[in-house]
């Protein structure tokens, strides 16, 4: 993949979101409100961060928009699919994330966003039962219908480009199966054979997006684009893909806090993370098969930052049976909180001569408030990457993701360390702006 | 200051510690135990950290000792001053930091470390009243006696080099007074005139150390080496100086956690930090004049990481009266905990569209366990800097310090961001090892 | 004081509140909303609690209103004094305690509550500077003007009875001075002599209320009615008095949690309590002289529940210097939270063989939401007590108060144990309902 | 059951403990240490609590031993069964609960306590695999062998009386099955038929104890003595039985804290409790079938204190689907902590006008340190009850138990409110001391 300067955008940018729930409507409302000067898009790197370009005497700190040609908020046009028929205004009200005073000034614009019928299979999300659902002959037909939706959306809105963003629920865990997921050919055959077990609905969305020339972003922990078949398709269509799982609450803290421990050469005996959350996401994750998908996504963070093999004195034990620290993640559905997620982390560290200490982090966060700016940044940066000729897996977007994509067939390892991810992000922006990147990330 | 490769050490390294209390004896016991293979020096960068040297294909990750000629633990010889006459074994037992089983195997070696009489002025630490104190005619005489102590220690032990480390209590706050502290000449005149108000005992230690060719490290928040007169003396004697205030519990977390907030472009409304601690340090800080010294040291951390002027939307308010977030630090003497310090931080952040969230960090730490590896690293790296011809303020040691030295007369600002401090540390090690440094720190 | 059955109320009940701020307007709004069926008066004993009356086979659990003739919410008429001229609607909006949707339906009724000019002396609350203030010749004149206000309020509204409730700020600490506060005669002389140092404005309110035949309730920690002169006046006028300091957040928890430790015979080494709060109350308490008043009120709670003399093995040490556990209370003004107070308690207990354990309680509470039902209960129960011929100090109201009144000249000790206070409350209700009380409270 | 004064004890009291692990050895070591004056039995009601006897003028506050003839610590003789062969000294060292300095002075006495072979069935505790196990033909034979053990212990030690205490692991959940557990006759038939599914090993211990004239106490959440067959046997043999599950950490706090909320008429939306613990108890509970037993025991506490039917406005909702607040309990095996259990409770309450608030309780407790005094009290009070002619279910011991016994066939409900339990305890002591009890408990 050649590194090249991104081309300037022309025309509008369509954003098609899978799932029109709490995250999506908060994302949309915030963009619309920011355009009217009613609210600030806090938490968005593309809107706030400043990056150094140049070195020594020549260095300057610039906002992204002054380095690379990212699309303007005013040029975004929203569309969506959802299993429930409520429009974005109704859904935002139901989500109870934003206050009435923040939604009401946007009522007309939000009401205009009506969800297209979703590609859905109840076996992948037992707790959901909406009826705004496509009738599909098989998985191939499902993808075909989605492709048609995308083409129609383009035609009706006149947008120049489209990005497809999955902001829907976690599906049941689908392990990678080389016979089905190993090549594009095998994948297409399985879609045609209606292999419901190995082809999640989300894969049909990704397939449709890439075939239609749209970058695809996986915001849930689904393994949708973590398979060689999708990488092949992205290469073929020269489209960026990114995933997976928005890095919002507890994992954000973990990927930032673990480096503190690691940088100071403190030891780790155990890390226990528990969460309570009460929104639809929590309801879906209350189902063990869906939680499994999430757990796999959340557990890997720590192990790649504090590596027992590299520092056996520091991370190499923890209890009698294991050869490293003890790490456990729990998610608990707890309705009284609705969208207000709460994380509680207990970190058992040790210092000089092995003496133990404890750090406890209690994060009273809001899921959608943390996810919305990630949606914006992932959309704008995927669109930018496409215009810079970057396709396939976008490692520089790891910063935004709980379980960043990496091509394990090439021996790549995921980068979970928040500050190393940040260096990767900055370097990509520099390159796409025609500047030299810093060579190393540590 | 020319950057040069450090010379290899020859002979033993004397470490003279001011204050033979909890921190010092934990430091000494740990070094002695590590030499015998009885304990691990966890938390020490010089013993554990690995740094990348080289780039691209040539890059390697090496321990410090494989890059630069740091002194070996086996070559350290300890000495101390203290206002109380107890030897290091007795003091370690009284401190109740280490378990009996960890102190007993070191009894003979610790008993051999008997404190020299301290240079002390009760007006600078009202809560202390030891009697192992020098009788001094004036501040000049105080410094002269300390110089003689250093010469005697060298002679008796046969060490090749000595580093002097302040690990004693916080003194009453001494504001910088240009007429007294502005030049070496003025300082010496004030010492001779016995200006007790402007010349803290700690300044006599620093003066004596530098004149005797020993690097000086200030581990408490005293302003001892934060004055132009000392910088002049360090230049003249070509000695490194470092300070101030060991970065142990809450400030360590703050300097690591604030970058998470900043890196993700989240907003900050307020940060409230409170501490409970019950050791002698807490007792001294219960005196308002001594706490003032500490407070000045602790408050600056945040403001230099999250800078309101640079991101006014994110850090520019917090309440009606102020123009930035609200930041408050409290320290409470609470005897039931002894050396086990506990920090409680409440962080009021906000995200997308200004919606508020909270992060609470509860750190059950141990003051001396966190400070001991800092003592070791600061001593070894100051000695290394001296051999590399680096003298004056050692900015690369900011990583270890709560309120890092910087020459404000040259417009320098302190670097408090843990990961930027880490880059500075790594670069200095690379340079002293004869490798090229990375050019920028962000 | 004879125990007698309370007479039924006739006519309306006037409630004159000193201070028309967050607590008062939340109290008023809640009562008005409950009358319209728009909100529930949660937290109010008089509206929700059920008490057993009768014994054995005859026992029944009844609401207060079915045992005693408490005034109906529909019969309450509000009035107020305040140093700021805003009406209750404006003040409620400014307080930012209640959501707009909860205040707007009450707009007209709240706007009609306009504060009378306050009796104010800036030396008692330096941080306040309203201008809706009486011009008084001396303290005697101050009281006379307040008496006239009360008479006018009665005339204008036609209420049958009035209760005066202090829900204003904490004044500067006024130590009890027997020469001034010892007798009613001395107090009146000092008022006439305009003894500003010993006669706080709150004393003029209490004096005026009692002289006008109104019960007086002190909701702040002021010592207003903790002096023999006021007890004498209450006896003479046959009026109930109650105080002091609404038991809302941290002290409520402490008075309930300490009994758990005590009941299980666990030991206590220390209890550290810190608070952050950002409302006007916090601003006033940021002034040391005002905090002193609060501190005295808050510290006594624990010592009367866990008594070192009675259980020396359990509560008799804590550190070397003291003869009991270490107890410390801190209050910190922290504007980002506004009315949302946060308490953090750290409790160092010990168990079997002296082994230490820790309990940490983090209370994210809302000051006014917790205080409002106390206002209602104290008003209704003081009015009830008056009709039952109970006058002077009302010990049965200790349940609602942080530092309950007690006649120390008779050797009385305060009861701070929440569950003992509850028994006292229940017994008084039983008696005023004509039922037999349970004899003992433990 | 007639209430009568307890007879004075004569001779020694044997204490046979099932399970010689952390709890048992901490209990034994503490009793032995207290006898030697080396440690205090903190947390024990029988050793520390004082109760009021008499009323009005005649009331006095006395220790239990001055009211009733409880056995003296010096008269206790310990014995045990365990699946592991280690003696009490070895087991105490392995448990890592007590410090070496507290165990070593008791070495000889503890070494003398060697466990008899346990009655064990691996299907009831899959994670355990000791080999100090009886070879039993069937459940009847198992009970017979245990009876012989008890008779031998009595003979060898010459004790006058024996109490049998279960302080071993939680068994797999055994639902009450009326056909097997409904009558003593059915139970004995099932034992003879070797009905392994319905007859847990713990039932054989209970059966043996009661048949041999020993009170039986169930310290784990096993349903052993919660069945009509055991009540029948206890009636027949006139023996006290008590259970179940020592009320140590989180449930102790819950049974004490819920009354605070209830007493102040605050509302409850949800209560989320999570635990981390790393000892053998935690290991066993990591097995879902064993956790089920515990969960049933822990959940009931709250519902009987805050009763939705009685206060629907306060406890009647919590989320859309349910008719009451949301209550969830989680236990997590987390080896880094060993015996140091940590509870984290999040309590979502609401107050005036329904406004929400949160209370978070973080309990860093020690399982065995909290359980040991309960062992002592339950043993001494069961022995006392036997001498007072009290047999069958001992409701007055509810104070010590997480899931107190109650005869549901008579419509009894469990009392979980800590302070109501305390009144029941005090009344029983008063009665067994020949004094009058207070009639009511609320």
Q: Which of A335, A356, A362 is the best mutation test for D, with the most CBs of D within 10 A?
A: A335
Query: Cβ separation of A344 and D344 shorter than 8 Å?
Result: yes
- What are the pLDDT digits (tens) for A86-101? 999 999 999 889 998 8
The whole-number pLDDT of residue A297 equals 66
Using pLDDT thresholds of 50, 70 and 90, give the confidence band for residue A22: very high
Cα(D104)–Cα(D32) distance, rounded to whole angstroms?
A: 12
Cα(A16)–Cα(A150) distance, rounded to whole angstroms?
A: 8
Residues β-bridged to residue A392: A240
Using pLDDT thresholds of 50, 70 and 90, give the confidence band for residue A319: very low
Q: How many CA atoms lie within 13 A of D312 on its CB side?
A: 3
Cα(A241)–Cα(A208) distance, rounded to whole angstroms?
A: 13
The rounded mean pLDDT for chain C is 90
Query: Cβ separation of A269 and D336 shorter than 8 Å?
Result: yes
- What are the pLDDT digits (tens) for C15-42? 999 999 999 999 999 999 999 999 999 9
Residues B360 and B378 in one domain: no
Whether pLDDT at C80 is above 70: yes
Please tell me which residue of chain A has the smallest CA distance to B348.
Answer: A364
Cα(B311)–Cα(B90) distance, rounded to whole angstroms?
A: 53
Please tell me which residue of chain B has the smallest CA distance to C276.
Answer: B272
Measured between beta carbons, the chain D residues lying within 8 angstroms of A270 are: 334-337
Cα(C114)–Cα(C86) distance, rounded to whole angstroms?
A: 7
Sheet holding B161-166, edge to edge: B116-117, B76-82, B13-18, B161-166, B216-218, B240-243, B392-393
Query: Cβ separation of A419 and B259 shorter than 8 Å?
Result: yes
Q: What is the value of ipTM here, to two decimals?
A: 0.92
CB C70 within 8 A of CB C46: yes
Least confident of A362-366, B51-55, C435-439: C435-439
The whole-number pLDDT of residue D183 equals 95
Q: Which of B319, B321, B346 minimises the CB distance to C342? A: B346
Query: Tokens 């997620």, residue?
Result: A341
- What are the pLDDT digits (tens) for D28-73? 999 999 999 999 999 999 999 999 888 778 889 999 999 999 999 9
What element of type H or E holds B328? strand B326-333
Q: What is the mean pLDDT of residues A145-165?
A: 97
Domain membership of residue B440 (yes or no) is no
The whole-number pLDDT of residue A203 equals 97
**Chains contacting D (3+ CB pairs below 8 angstroms):** A, B, C
Cα(D412)–Cα(D399) distance, rounded to whole angstroms?
A: 16
Q: What is the mean pLDDT of residues D227-251?
A: 93
Residues C122 and C88 in one domain: yes
Measured between beta carbons, the chain C residues lying within 8 angstroms of B348 are: 336-337
Domain membership of residue D43 (yes or no) is yes
Query: Cβ separation of D43 and C373 shorter than 8 Å?
Result: no
- What are the pLDDT digits (tens) for C38-60? 999 999 999 999 998 887 788 89
Residues B337 and B380 in one domain: no
Domain membership of residue D7 (yes or no) is no
Residues β-bridged to residue A116: A81
- What are the pLDDT digits (tens) for A384-410? 999 999 999 999 999 999 989 887 777
Least confident of A140-144, A206-210, A262-266, B112-116: A262-266
Write the CATH number for A266. Answer: 3.30.360.10
Domain membership of residue B129 (yes or no) is yes
Whether pLDDT at C1 is above 50: no
Query: Cβ separation of D351 and C263 shorter than 8 Å?
Result: no
The whole-number pLDDT of residue D440 equals 62
The whole-number pLDDT of residue B319 equals 43
The whole-number pLDDT of residue C322 equals 52
Q: What is the mean pLDDT of residues D160-186?
A: 93
Residues of chain B with pLDDT under 70: 1-3, 297-298, 317-322, 439-442
CB A141 within 8 A of CB A196: no
The rounded mean pLDDT for chain D is 90
Residues A68 and A177 in one domain: yes
Residues D372 and D329 in one domain: no
| Distance between B38 CA and the closest CA of chain C, angstroms | 27
Domain membership of residue C438 (yes or no) is no
Using pLDDT thresholds of 50, 70 and 90, give the confidence band for residue A320: very low
Report the b/e string of C387-398 with b at 16+ CB within 10 A. Answer: bbbbbbbbbbbb
Domain membership of residue A442 (yes or no) is no
Measured between beta carbons, the chain C residues lying within 8 angstroms of B269 are: 336
Q: Which of 132-191 (C) contact B at CB < 8 A?
A: none
Query: Cβ separation of D319 and A278 shorter than 8 Å?
Result: yes
Q: Which of B357, B373, B419 minimises the CB distance to A364? A: B357
What element of type H or E holds B271? strand B267-277
Please tell me which residue of chain B has the smallest CA distance to D364.
Answer: B364
Residues C45 and C189 in one domain: yes
- What are the pLDDT digits (tens) for D138-150? 999 999 999 999 9
Whether B336 contacts chain D with CB within 8 A: no
| Distance between D319 CA and the closest CA of chain A, angstroms | 6
Whether pLDDT at D304 is above 90: no
Domain membership of residue B131 (yes or no) is yes
| Domain stop point among B308, B332, B364 | B364
The whole-number pLDDT of residue A441 equals 59
Report the b/e string of A171-198 with b at 16+ CB within 10 A. Answer: bbbbeeeeebbbbbebbbebbeeebeeb
Whether B101 contacts chain D with CB within 8 A: yes
Q: Give me the number of domains chain B comprises.
A: 2
Write the CATH number for A170. Answer: 3.40.50.720
The whole-number pLDDT of residue B190 equals 96
Cα(A92)–Cα(C135) distance, rounded to whole angstroms?
A: 54
The whole-number pLDDT of residue A318 equals 47
Q: Which of D25, D352, D356 is the best mutation test for C, with the most CBs of C within 10 A?
A: D352
What element of type H or E holds B178? helix B178-181
CB D38 within 8 A of CB D104: no
SS3 D259: helix
| Domain stop point among C316, C345, C364 | C364
Q: Which of A325, A334, A344 minimises the CB distance to D270? A: A334
Residues D129 and D111 in one domain: yes
Whether C332 contacts chain B with CB within 8 A: yes
Q: Give start and end residues of each alpha helix (H) in A164-200.
A: 178-181, 184-192
Residues D126 and D271 in one domain: no
Whether D336 contacts chain B with CB within 8 A: no
Cα(A151)–Cα(A212) distance, rounded to whole angstroms?
A: 8
The whole-number pLDDT of residue C318 equals 47
Residues A353 and A372 in one domain: no
Whether pLDDT at C280 is above 80: no
The whole-number pLDDT of residue B1 equals 46
Neighbours of D316 (CB within 10 A): 17
Report the largest interatomic distance among the alpha carbons of chain C, rounded to a whole angstrom: 68
Residues contacting residue D66 through CB under 8 Å, at least 6 positions apart: none
Residues C146 and C71 in one domain: yes
Q: Which of C318, C319, C346 minimises the CB distance to B276? A: C346
Least confident of B223-232, D282-291, D355-364: D282-291
Question: What pairing do the DSSP bridges indicate for beta strands B50-53 and B60-63?
Answer: antiparallel
Whether C100 contacts chain A with CB within 8 A: yes
For residue C246, give the DSSP letter.
B
Q: What is the mean pLDDT of residues A146-156?
A: 97
CB C1 within 8 A of CB C392: yes
Whether C336 contacts chain A with CB within 8 A: no
| Distance between D91 CA and the closest CA of chain B, angstroms | 20
Q: What is the mean pLDDT of residues D249-275?
A: 91
Cα(A196)–Cα(A210) distance, rounded to whole angstroms?
A: 21
| Domain stop point among B364, B387, B405 | B364
Query: Cβ separation of D334 and A270 shorter than 8 Å?
Result: yes
Query: Tokens 């910063």, residue?
Result: A399
Least confident of A66-80, B165-179, C144-158, D16-30: B165-179
- What are the pLDDT digits (tens) for B121-175? 988 887 788 899 999 999 999 999 999 999 999 999 999 999 999 999 888 888 8
Residues B276 and B230 in one domain: no
Measured between beta carbons, the chain D residues lying within 8 angstroms of B361 are: none
- The token pair at D355 is 């406004």
Using pLDDT thresholds of 50, 70 and 90, give the confidence band for residue C150: very high
Measured between beta carbons, the chain D residues lying within 8 angstroms of B362 are: 362
Please tell me which residue of chain D has the smallest CA distance to C257.
Answer: D257
Cα(C424)–Cα(C408) distance, rounded to whole angstroms?
A: 18
Q: What is the mean pLDDT of residues C282-292?
A: 74
SS3 A35: helix
- The token pair at C227 is 């002096």
Residues C194 and C134 in one domain: yes
Whether D101 contacts chain C with CB within 8 A: no
Query: Cβ separation of A43 and B265 shorter than 8 Å?
Result: yes
Whether C440 contacts chain D with CB within 8 A: yes
Domain membership of residue B332 (yes or no) is yes
Residue A317 domain boundaries: 250-364
DSSP code string of D294-354: HHHHHHHHHHHHS-TTT-HHHHS-SSSS-SS-EEEEEEEE-GGGTT--EEEEEEEEE-GGG
The whole-number pLDDT of residue C439 equals 64
Q: How many CA atoms lie within 13 A of D436 on its CB side?
A: 9
Using pLDDT thresholds of 50, 70 and 90, give the confidence band for residue D439: low
Whether A330 contacts chain D with CB within 8 A: yes
Sheet holding B342-350, edge to edge: A326-333, A267-277, A342-350, A356-364, B356-364, B342-350, B267-277, B326-333
Whether pLDDT at A296 is above 80: no
- What are the pLDDT digits (tens) for A202-246? 999 999 999 999 999 999 989 899 999 999 999 999 999 998 999
Question: What pairing do the DSSP bridges indicate for beta strands C60-63 and C50-53?
Answer: antiparallel
Q: How many residues does chain C have?
A: 442
Q: Which of 349-378 (B) contact A at CB < 8 A?
A: 350-355, 357-366, 368-370, 372-373
Query: Cβ separation of D348 and A337 shorter than 8 Å?
Result: yes
- What are the pLDDT digits (tens) for C308-351? 888 889 998 644 445 788 898 888 888 888 778 899 999 999 99
- What are the pLDDT digits (tens) for D380-403? 999 999 999 999 999 999 999 998
| Distance between A359 CA and the closest CA of chain B, angstroms | 4
Cα(C366)–Cα(C344) distance, rounded to whole angstroms?
A: 14
- What are the pLDDT digits (tens) for D72-131? 999 999 999 999 999 999 999 998 899 988 999 999 999 999 999 999 998 888 778 889
| C-alpha torsion sign, points B284, B288, B293, B294 | positive
Q: Which of 294-313 (C) contact B at CB < 8 A?
A: none
The whole-number pLDDT of residue C440 equals 62
Q: How many CA atoms lie within 13 A of D302 on its CB side?
A: 27
Using pLDDT thresholds of 50, 70 and 90, give the confidence band for residue D188: very high
């Amino acid at each position: 993949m050649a590194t090249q300067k991104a081309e300037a955008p022309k025309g509008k940018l369509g954003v098609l979101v899978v799932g029109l729930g709490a995250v999506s409507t908060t994302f949309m409302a915030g963009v619309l409100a920011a355009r009217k000067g009613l609210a600030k898009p806090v938490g968005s790197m593309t809107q706030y961060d400043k990056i150094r370009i140049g070195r020594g005497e020549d260095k300057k700190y610039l906002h992204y928009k002054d380095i690379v040609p990212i699309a303007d908020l005013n040029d975004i046009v929203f569309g969506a699919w959802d299993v429930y028929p409520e429009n974005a205004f109704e859904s935002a009200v139901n989500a109870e994330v934003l206050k009435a005073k923040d939604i009401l000034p946007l009522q007309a614009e939000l009401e205009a966003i009506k969800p297209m019928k979703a590609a859905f299979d109840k076996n992948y999300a037992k707790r959901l039962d909406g009826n705004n659902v496509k009738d599909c002959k098989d998985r191939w037909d499902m993808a075909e219908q989605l492709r048609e939706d995308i083409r129609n959306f383009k035609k009706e809105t006149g947008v120049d480009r489209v990005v497809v963003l999955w902001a829907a629920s976690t599906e049941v865990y689908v392990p990678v199966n080389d016979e089905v997921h190993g090549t594009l050919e095998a994948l297409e055959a399985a879609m045609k054979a209606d292999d419901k077990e190995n082809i999640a609905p989300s894969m049909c969305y990704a397939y449709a997006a890439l075939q239609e020339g749209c970058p695809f972003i996986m915001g849930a922990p689904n393994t949708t684009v973590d398979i060689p078949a999708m990488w092949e398709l992205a290469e073929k269509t020269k489209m960026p893909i990114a995933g997976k799982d928005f890095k919002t609450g507890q994992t954000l803290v973990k990927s930032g806090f673990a480096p503190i421990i690691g940088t100071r050469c403190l030891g780790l005996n155990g890390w226990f993370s528990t969460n309570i959350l009460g929104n639809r996401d929590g309801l879906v994750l209350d189902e063990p098969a869906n939680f499994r998908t999430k757990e796999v996504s959340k557990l890997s963070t720590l192990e790649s930052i504090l590596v027992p093999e590299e520092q056996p004195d520091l991370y190499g034990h923890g209890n009698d049976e294991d050869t490293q620290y003890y790490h456990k993640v729990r998610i608990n559905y707890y309705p009284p909180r609705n969208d207000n997620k709460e994380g509680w982390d207990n970190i058992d560290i040790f210092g000089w001569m092995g003496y133990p200490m404890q750090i406890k982090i209690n994060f009273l966060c809001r899921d959608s408030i943390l996810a919305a700016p990630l949606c914006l940044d992932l959309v704008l940066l995927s669109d930018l990457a496409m215009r810079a000729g970057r396709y396939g897996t976008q490692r520089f977007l790891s910063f935004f993701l709980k379980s960043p994509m990496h091509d394990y067939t090439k021996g790549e390892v995921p980068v979970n360390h928040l500050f190393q991810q940040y260096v990767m992000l900055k370097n990509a922006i520099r390159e796409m702006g025609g500047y030299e990147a810093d060579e190393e990330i540590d």
